[in-house]
Chains A and B, each alone.
Chain A
Amino acid sequence: MGAFQWLMKKITKVFGRSTNSLFYVLLNREILKEVNEITKNEENSLLILREIGKKAAYESCERHSGVFKFMPGNPKKILDYFEILWVVVFGSELEDYSYEEISNEGSKYNDYVLTISKCPICAGYGQDEEDSFDFNKLKGIETEGLACGLCGMLESVANFILKIKRNDYRIQIIEQDCIAKGGNNLKFICKIHDYKEWAALSASRISERNSKGIYLDEDTEEEILQETKLDIIDKLQDIISIDKLEEYLDEPLESLKEKVAEIIRDKLNMEPEHFFDYFRNYEDDMIRIIGYLGMHLLNEYGGLLEKTLKNEWFSKIFGYLFKQLKNMTLLFIPLDVIRDYNKLLVSFIEGLAPEEMVDNIRLFSGKDTINYLFEGAQMALENLGIDFSELKENIWEELTKERDDGLVSSETSTADKTREKVPQIINILQEFLMIINDILTLPIRVIISESHYGIKTAINSVVSEEEGLYGSIKERFDNIFDQIQDIRK
């Protein structure tokens, strides 16, 4: 699994509202039973549950549309990233599944069959008295099963991504096998339709429901409004979707430079040298802008950073972490390592920017570059809600102050809750410090491997991906996400 795919899954999971899976599954069952109380027809009830799932997921996607901007905008690739769809919808990992591509002559895309060997929705169905929805009453061979609501949700999320990516294709996901119905696995068949076919299919689904006397608020998938204001991610979405980012990591530095040059030519209609010429004699500002944009780009992921920083405590913790990182970078990183980073920047910009500009950047000491980057990043963080002027010397003073001032409620349970969170915060700090140590070794690896291998090679150890820098950082972030999840509980 790629680094970005992993990161996206982790973030989606951490920031969703979760409950115990058994509660989720039983709630799904109850919704189906209540629908069946109304329709008194099992086949119709399954059709309605699917529609409920579709609408529910669409509503959720609309609220958090920013999250999906990093997904690839091509139906085949969306299916390649099916694991992310599953995590967005269900929240837990998709275990043990397989793909089968079925040739679809005359169509641009093939059909895909996804076989998932274990289905959480069907788990233990039929063993308890309350499992009273009777699948034996189903007469139609083509009816879906207990996971049809989940199936509707997956279809909705996939098509929402295609919609915001302005793609003309849509994905139909049908539950073909269901364990509760007697199948061996949970099986989905995924068909890709062009927009015309999709519109006809949707219309026929609606008329089928109407003929059965099932009335729901019907789909009103709006056409994409061309005048919609495009944000920075919309403009760059073809370049920075997770599939592309994974590809970039595989590229050697020279190819990466070519890609950047292509992007500038293609998107900005100018030669890279002209583009960089705007910053001539303002090279320090350019580096500040990189720091500034870096933070804002981070925030483009559904405005997550900004939302997190609205919480006073998270804002302070983030502020202290940033301050510590800034101080540590300058105090503890050997000058050679900082110079390596500067060299890396110069080698990156060489050939893209005018000679004079490259010379000016070469004059910066590594320390200057780091300072400019941090200054830019700090400006962005101030915009996003961190008030650096209010921060104490370190986080420990902050914790003591809260307790002395009695700002934290004296009610035992609240005090306990706060105390419970301290170890997790300490663990997060510790993990971040360890990540910084890991990253210190990166630049020299990149420089050595740049001419022959991709950046990914530098990140991975020669022994194995898991034992290398990538594995180590991934493990630390796993711990950080676990701690955040604990705090959120």
Chain B
Amino acid sequence: MNYSRNELIKTEATMNQMRNSLYILVRFMEKNGIKNSTEIFRRMGRSIARTYFNYWKPTDFIKISNLKDVITTIYKNVLNSTISIEINDTEKLVIVRDYKCALCKYQYDDVEIAGCEILLGMISEFISLISKESTEPNSIFLDPIEVKESRANGNKSCLQLYRYKISGEA
């Protein structure tokens, strides 16, 4: 009897080689004329979230009051990352800073995309999946905006930006 995906949630795996694989994938895509690698990375993230959600979710509902905690919990449980998070109510922005991003560490001269574009897709999809299932009237939905800074681009940390929407609001 093989492992189940539920069992995998309780164990950890080293990302070093897998992280490198992402940048080799980008080079392969570019060699084959693929231009929208950012969109592809986000699609990968969304797909990961959809499967992951079948085995684990941090909460049953998301409101603006627990949004920070939910995002922090996802980063901690899935990625082993301790992040700092800021919410800008005026522009409806969620700003996540990760000093030890699981998918970005080294700067590559020939690759412009940051590995954590995958996380933008994954986190926003995770939040949206929870909200779609919840009965909470003011549920939150996230849209990825951009990776503003990344260790893959030579910055000291990764800075990921999302925009949130509250259901029912215009």
A92 within 8 A of B: yes
On whether the beta carbons of B21 and A17 are closer than 8 Å, the reply is no
Give the residues from 2 to 61 in chain A that come closer than 8 angstroms, CB to CB, to chain B. 13, 16-28, 30-31, 33-35, 37-38, 48, 52-53, 55-57, 59-60
Contact A17 B24 (CB under 8 A): no
**Cβ contacts A390-424/B at 8 Å (1 or 0 each):** 00000000000000000000000100010000000
Assuming the contacts A91-B13, A128-B51, A215-B31, asked whether A118 and B2 have C-beta atoms less than 8 A apart, the reply is yes
**Residues from 185 to 218 in A contacting B, C-beta threshold 8 Å:** 215-217
Interfacial chain A residues near B27, Cβ < 8 Å: 217
Q: Do A53 and B21 contact each other (CB < 8 Å), given the known contacts A19-B102, A22-B52, A38-B34?
A: yes
CB-CB nearest in chain B for A55: B24
With an 8 A cutoff between CB atoms, is A338 at the interface? no
Stretch at the interface among A119-127, A284-292, A463-471: A119-127
Quick check: is A153 within 8 A (CB to CB) of the other chain?
yes
A149 within 8 A of B: yes
Residues from chain A with Cβ under 8 Å of B31 in the complex: 215-216
Q: Is the CB of B79 within 8 A of A23?
A: yes
B17 and A19 contacting across the interface, CB-CB below 8 Å: no
Q: What number of A residues sit within 8 Å (CB to CB) of B?
A: 56
Chain A at the B interface: mostly helix, strand, loop or mixed?
Answer: helix
Measured between alpha carbons, how far is A37 from B32 in the docked complex, in Å?
11
- Is there contact, CB below 8 Å, between B77 and A128? no
> What residues of A have a CB within 8 angstroms of the CB of B16 in the complex?
16-17, 60
A52 touches B2 (CB 8 A): no
Q: How far is the CA of A417 from the CA of B78 in the complex (A)?
A: 19
Q: Which residues of A contact B22 (CB under 8 A)?
A: 27, 31
Looking across the interface, which residue of chain A has its beta carbon closest to that of B22?
A: A31
How many whole Å from B79's CB to the nearest CB in chain A? 5
Within 8 A of A (CB), among B95-113: 100, 102, 105-106
**B44 on interface, CB distance cutoff 8 Å:** yes
Contact A18/B15 with A38-B32, A413-B84 known, Cβ cut-off 8 Å = yes
Interface size, chain B (Cβ < 8 Å): 50
Any chain A CB within 8 A of the CB of B7? yes
- Given A38-B32, A489-B82, CB of A17 within 8 Å of CB of B19: yes
| Interface assignment of B135: CB less than 8 Å from any CB of chain A | no
Whether, in the assembled complex, A101 has its beta carbon less than 8 Å from a beta carbon of chain B, the answer is: no
Chain A residues, Cβ within 8 Å of B12: 18-21, 91-92
Min Cβ gap A68→B in Å is 14
Partner of B29, one of A34, A89, A215, A417: A34
Tell whether, in the assembled complex, residue A59 and residue B20 are in contact, meaning their CB atoms are under 8 Å apart: yes
How many angstroms from the CA of A53 to the CA of B14 in the assembled complex? Answer: 14
Q: Is the CB of A56 within 8 A of B21?
A: yes
Interface membership of A380, Cβ < 8 A: no
Q: Are B21 and A149 in contact (CB under 8 A)?
A: yes
Complex CA distance for A88 and B21, rounded to whole angstroms: 15
- Whether A22 and B9, one on each chain, are in contact in the complex, defined by CB atoms closer than 8 angstroms, is yes
Q: Which 5 A-B pairs have the closest CB atoms?
A: A91-B14, A56-B20, A16-B14, A124-B5, A24-B13
17 A-B residue pairs with CB within 8 Å: A18-B15, A19-B78, A19-B79, A20-B13, A20-B77, A23-B48, A23-B79, A24-B13, A27-B44, A33-B47, A34-B29, A37-B40, A120-B13, A123-B3, A124-B2, A130-B51, A489-B76
Residues of A within 8 A of B (CB): 13, 16-28, 30-31, 33-35, 37-38, 48, 52-53, 55-57, 59-60, 63, 87-92, 118-120, 122-124, 127-131, 149, 153, 179, 215-217, 413, 417, 489
Which B residues are closer than 8 A to A by beta carbons?
A: 1-5, 7-9, 11-22, 24-25, 27-29, 31-32, 34, 40, 44, 47-48, 50-52, 54-56, 76-80, 82, 84, 100, 102, 105-106, 118
